[in-house]
Structures are given as C-alpha cells and as structure tokens.
Amino acid sequence: MITGAHTILYSTAADADRAFLRDVLGFPHVDAGGGWLIFAAPPAEIAVHPTDGPPKHELTLMCDDVDRTITELTAKGVEFTSPVQDLRWGRLTSLRLPGGGELGLYEPLHPTAHGS
C-alpha cells in the first residue's frame, strides 16, 4: 500500500535550499545522516492535467491566503518571480529558491482533497 510521497528537488545549491526549507518555510525535518535533511511536507494533493507537450511534473505549495503569505515570506527575504495571477481555480505566483529553482505558491479557490 502507498503510504506517502517523496518529492525530490534537484539543486545546484542544495545546502542553501535545505536551509530555506528549514529556516524560512519552517518545515519539520530529520537528518538522514551526514547533514542530509529530509523534510516533512504539508498535506499534498495530486492533480493530473492534460498536455499537448511532453509530460512534466510541477511542485506547487498551497496556502490559505496568498497575499498574506507573500507578505510574510517577503519579510524573510524571499523573492517572488511572478505577479499573482487570478485564475478560475486559484490565485497563483512563484517564488525563487536560493539555488535558483522556483516553486509555485497558490491559494486554491476550489474544494481541496483535504476538505478546505
């Protein structure tokens, strides 16, 4: 039986991105050995979207209030790479990781699999 999901972020600055997840986002973690941090993620959902291009995967963090979350994370030095888009299904933006990668951040405007 499936018991969870393990997400991998590839980074050219893995230590900086681990520190970001630990110190800025405050994700709980364990040390799997030698400083290799594994983070507990918030509850997750999986959506399957159609595409005309090659298959790909995205990691987007969810929040209850995207404007408040942007304010809180900006105060911690987080750079947002796109303005908030108001879409039919939610409010979406992106933030930059210290290693240069990006994560989506969105406030769903639809029922979620976790009941909100």
Would strands 102-108 and 90-96 be described as parallel, antiparallel, or unpaired? antiparallel
pTM of the entire structure? 0.88
- Is a pLDDT exceeding 90 seen at residue 115? no
- CA dist., res. 107 & res. 53, Å (int): 26
Candidate CATH numbers 3.10.180.10, 2.40.50.700, 3.40.718.10, 3.20.190.10; the one for domain 14-108: 3.10.180.10
- CA dist., res. 61 & res. 36, Å (int): 22
Tens digits of per-residue pLDDT, 15-68? 999 999 999 999 999 999 988 999 999 889 999 999 999 998 899 999 999 999
Q: List the one residue out of 26, 95, 45, 40 whose CA is nearest residue 66.
A: 95
- The pLDDT of residue 51: 94
Local confidence band at 113 (pLDDT 50, 70, 90 cut-offs): confident
